[in-house]
Structure 1
Amino acid sequence: MTIPAPLDPRTARLLPWIVAIAFFMQTLDGTILNTALPAMAGDLNEDPLRMQSVVIAYMLTVALLIPASGWIADRFGTRRIFFGAIALFSLGSLLCALSESLSMLIGARVIQGLGGALMMPVGRLVVLRAYPRSELVRIMSFITLPGLLGPLIGPSLGGWLVEVASWHWIFLINLPVGLLGCWAARRYMPDLRGPERSRFDSVGFLLFGAAMLLITVALEGLGELHLPTMRVVLLLLGGMACLAAYWLRAGRIEQPLFSPALFHTRSFAVGIIGNLFARLGSGALPFLTPLLLQLAMGYSPAQAGMSLIPLALAAMAAKPLAKPLIERLGYRNILTSNTLLLGALIASLALVDAETSTLQLIIQLSLIGACNSLQFTAMNTVTLIDLDNRDASSGNSLLSVVVQLAMGLGVASAAALLSGFSRDLGGSDHVLQAFQATYLCVGLLSMLAAAIFLQLDTKAGRSGRNIEVPTDD
């Protein structure tokens, strides 16, 4: 990497704000959409229980492109790529607002995802390279703060916009922020590049991406797409074959996309696999809950959005407790017990019905938010903490991919279960029962991840390394 000239005082002061605004746009978009899905479905003449593709298309696109983000930034320069990422995200937002069919909306969400996949990785890379290490913790803490505010205000803002205007405005509000971000990126973003053109594992990228795409579409085939069982099986087998081919190839080339050697570190292997399965429930929750409140319990979009505020507030309040609890009890005990508790709490939402009081719902969602916060912090940290400096960057990139992929698979799995239970129970007359059965299954599946975390060594994470982990909650 070329050593950048010292930042002038104005740029050094404004650069964290530019990255923070981009992070806020991304996290707000990830939560503002869910409460608007029923209104969007009505306007597009679609079944509200079949709108998960709008969510999955974005998450899957982000997961597919994250592995290439560092190479793209080194090849074309951080200023150009960061500017392009914000522009793509804003263009995708405009196209979403103009969409007149579900297919158009999904295509626009893919364009949004292309921008979203580059915004935060490139923004973090610029901060890492442009500031001295003594300033890094302070600046990273500042730019990740909007990641906590997005889930807090997103659901209620989305519900309010649907009621006072229309669902189109949940995308249109990105445009002025995006224009400001584009101007600021062109003016203040330093243009950093790698010292030389590194070779990108394009074949590995295609194999890994094809595996993720085929497996996700297979799960979608069980839900919204209603594909025949044979096609679903073929898609799953095709995805597994691509993943196996990637794994075998990565073991024999010098610079694979993600090296199989990462999995020689036991805590990383357990953390990655545990993340994949434990997040199925956490990923399904933001999709299922607004639908439950609006379709089965008669909440307005604004009421449904405000009902999710306790979940985000509890997550923020519990965050400072993670470090002392982990230091006292250890990663193995925390992750095993908290996974069981979180799964049980998600399953407890099967008890929610028309007679459930607001207070009970607030308590349940608050407990889930607190457990989620502890779960994310512990899982992310134990995954990376025992990696040496040589492998930390690649491990962090793979973790970011798995986080996005797991959330997308969580939505796809929940939607497939909800669709299946709706058909089996007799359609629209039994919507509440379908939601209850889905929550029960998702909670029980999440609890099974505790068996994965039991494979951690009791001393896992005691290496004392201080690793910056991605903020996704």
Structure 2
Amino acid sequence: MTTTTPARRRTGSTAVAVLVAGTYFMELLDGTILATAAPAMGRDLGVDSAAIGIAITAYLVTLAVLIPVSGWLTDRIGSRTVFVAAIALFTIASALCAASTGLVELTAWRIVQGIGGALMVPVGRLVVLRSAGRDQLVTAIAILTWPALAAPIIAPFIGGVLVDTLSWHWIFLINIPLGVIALVAAIVLVPQERAAQRIPFDWLGSLLACFGLGALVVMASLLSLNVVPVVPAVLAGVVGAVCTWLAIRHFRRAPHPIMGLEAFRLETFRVSHAGGSLFRLAVSAVPFVLPLLFQDAWGWTALEAGSAVLWVFVGNLGIKPTTTPLLRAFGYRPVIIVSSAVAALSVVAMAFLAPSTPFWLLAVLLVVSGAARSVGFTAYNTIAFADVEQADMTPANTLSSTLQQTAAGFGVAVAAVVIRAAAGLGGSGPYVVAFWVIAALLAVACVEGVLMSRTAGETVRPARRVRA
């Protein structure tokens, strides 16, 4: 009988984590990059550029409503089968999106693409969480975190380059070679795992979750439009709130719910998805507000604005090598408090930016902001599963993926609503108000960090290195 050495297990889990991170990057990039290409796509497809928003919304709604199903499918069919099929579906749909000749056709293929994305990332992350072990959880989560940090920031830049130098079709065509590489790697690297017990599908819970999350995402998308359709937005909000409430009631009583809520009894999971959701919402809003400030208020070009926001990405990458040492030296509570506080202070500083601000000072501020969001993301994402047992990993991962997707989606909506409400201030005023609101959300997350137990997350805290 052969045994797997710890070194081989670490290498394997790291390789799978890198693979899943790559697919996560593709999914997030396709969720945000269309906004940059909307004018060019509108001209080519014969519609107004604002109408392209339906293709963006269709993709995001599909992601949100199908994530809850991913865990059940994985346990029933097998992790490798679902993951490989999801990558194939995402890649084929990308090619069909590029070949679209009309908005209806494009939207239909975006829905198919969203189905692949909804299954691809949660299933891949579940495989990583199961294979990494507590001793490698921080490293694995750090790898899985970078796409969420990078994609929203570099998407405007990549989109602008592809559209200006080639055409909007390449936004989708670039996924084809990446998808083929990921497909081969998945077949080789991802283990085939199924649940020992075949659990019946929770039809009622799935329908309630789909309608609830879908309606809430639709509401968020409508609120982010330049002209808000009030009646549809309110109707979507009401339907979403009612269905979500009914879904929560059902999940608490059902013997085999599609999303188990038991993980909320764990302090570490609760902190990661309460204050953590506010943190994710706030830092997702910053890359949306900054380009608007630079272009609409300061008169910069899209390329200039996209290039400036890349300094946030520099901060994300620059701090990465120190994330694990920071957690090792100080633990989760201090790291969460400091990262949330620094993120909040950096956003407050953004409220005082002006066209006359020296570019080097702007770059330093964005690097600091990026570093804070990177450390906070890693800490929150890692501590979420600190006390989750392997037997409960599937429902906890499904719930976590759903909440993270919803929080990120609402970040742009909250910022858009604030900017629109403060539009009467003119100039940089609406963006200043948005920065203060974002900073307030981060401050609340910081307070929750102060209130968490000092020993929270110690079970997965990286071990201190002992000097010889």
Q: TM-score range by the shorter chain?
A: 0.7 to 0.9
Deviation of 1:321 (Å): 3.5
Q: 1:435 aligns with which of 431, 435, 441?
A: 431
Q: Is the 8 A contact 1:34 1:286 kept in 2?
A: no
TM-score normalised over the length of structure 1: 0.79
The CA distance in 2 between the partners of 1:305 and 1:262, in whole Å, is 39
Residues 1:313 and 1:83: Cα distance change in structure 2 (over 3 Å): same
Report the counterpart of residue 380 of structure 2 in structure 1: 379
Report the counterpart of residue 91 of structure 2 in structure 1: 90
Q: Is the 8 A contact 2:94 2:173 kept in 1?
A: yes
Q: Is the 8 A contact 1:335 1:450 kept in 2?
A: yes
- Matched position secondary structure for 1:458: coil
Report the counterpart of residue 341 of structure 1 in structure 2: 342
The CA distance in 2 between the partners of 1:92 and 1:249, in whole Å, is 34
- The answer as to 2:452 corresponding to 1:456 is yes
The CA distance in 1 between the partners of 2:23 and 2:229, in whole Å, is 38
Report the counterpart of residue 275 of structure 1 in structure 2: 276
Q: Is the 8 A contact 2:21 2:143 kept in 1?
A: yes
Residues 1:461 and 1:75: Cα distance change in structure 2 (over 3 Å): closer
The CA distance in 1 between the partners of 2:146 and 2:270, in whole Å, is 30
Q: Is the 8 A contact 1:58 1:113 kept in 2?
A: yes
Q: What is the letter of the counterpart of residue 402 of structure 1?
A: L
Deviation of 1:404 (Å): 1.3
Larger CA deviation: 299-308 vs 263-272: 299-308
Deviation of 1:402 (Å): 1.4
Deviation of 1:299 (Å): 4.1
- The answer as to 2:402 corresponding to 1:406 is no
Deviation of 1:408 (Å): 0.4
Deviation of 1:265 (Å): 2.1
Report the counterpart of residue 361 of structure 2 in structure 1: 360
Q: Report the aligned-residue RMSD.
A: 4.1
Q: Is the 8 A contact 2:23 2:121 kept in 1?
A: no
- Matched position secondary structure for 2:454: coil
The CA distance in 1 between the partners of 2:380 and 2:398, in whole Å, is 15
Report the counterpart of residue 251 of structure 2 in structure 1: 250
Report the counterpart of residue 286 of structure 2 in structure 1: 285
Deviation of 1:407 (Å): 0.5
Report the counterpart of residue 236 of structure 1 in structure 2: 237
- Matched position secondary structure for 2:255: coil
Q: 2:38 aligns with which of 37, 40, 49?
A: 40
Larger CA deviation: 290-299 vs 200-209: 290-299
Q: Is the 8 A contact 1:97 1:169 kept in 2?
A: yes
The CA distance in 2 between the partners of 1:294 and 1:307, in whole Å, is 11
Q: Is the 8 A contact 1:90 1:175 kept in 2?
A: yes
Deviation of 1:455 (Å): 3.5
Report the counterpart of residue 21 of structure 2 in structure 1: 23
Report the counterpart of residue 223 of structure 1 in structure 2: 224
Deviation of 1:222 (Å): 3.1
Matches within 5 A, 1:66-77: 66-77=67-78
Q: Is the 8 A contact 2:351 2:431 kept in 1?
A: yes
Structure 2's unaligned 5+ residue stretches are 5-9, 463-468
Residues 1:47 and 1:455: Cα distance change in structure 2 (over 3 Å): farther
Q: Is the 8 A contact 1:20 1:142 kept in 2?
A: no
Report the counterpart of residue 116 of structure 2 in structure 1: 115
Matches within 5 A, 1:189-200: 191-200=192-201
The CA distance in 2 between the partners of 1:308 and 1:293, in whole Å, is 10
Residues 1:81 and 1:327: Cα distance change in structure 2 (over 3 Å): closer
Q: Is the 8 A contact 2:122 2:401 kept in 1?
A: no
Deviation of 1:300 (Å): 4.3
Q: What is the letter of the counterpart of residue 21 of structure 2?
A: F
Larger CA deviation: 46-55 vs 382-391: 46-55
Q: What is the letter of the counterpart of residue 22 of structure 2?
A: F
- Matched position secondary structure for 2:172: helix
Q: Matched residues, percent identical? A: 30
Deviation of 1:27 (Å): 0.8
TM-score normalised over the length of structure 2: 0.79
Deviation of 1:399 (Å): 1.8
The CA distance in 1 between the partners of 2:265 and 2:384, in whole Å, is 12
Residues 1:201 and 1:330: Cα distance change in structure 2 (over 3 Å): same
- Matched position secondary structure for 1:449: helix
The CA distance in 2 between the partners of 1:25 and 1:190, in whole Å, is 17
State the number of aligned residues.
453
Report the counterpart of residue 316 of structure 1 in structure 2: 317
The CA distance in 1 between the partners of 2:317 and 2:457, in whole Å, is 23
Report the counterpart of residue 203 of structure 1 in structure 2: 204
Q: Is the 8 A contact 2:340 2:445 kept in 1?
A: yes
The CA distance in 2 between the partners of 1:455 and 1:267, in whole Å, is 12
Residues 1:175 and 1:252: Cα distance change in structure 2 (over 3 Å): same
Deviation of 1:369 (Å): 0.6
Residues 1:281 and 1:103: Cα distance change in structure 2 (over 3 Å): farther
Q: Is the 8 A contact 2:220 2:413 kept in 1?
A: yes
Larger CA deviation: 316-325 vs 367-376: 316-325
The CA distance in 2 between the partners of 1:248 and 1:33, in whole Å, is 31
Deviation of 1:113 (Å): 2.2
CA deviation map 1:405-446 (0-9, x unaligned): 110011122223334444x45xxxx56443343333333333
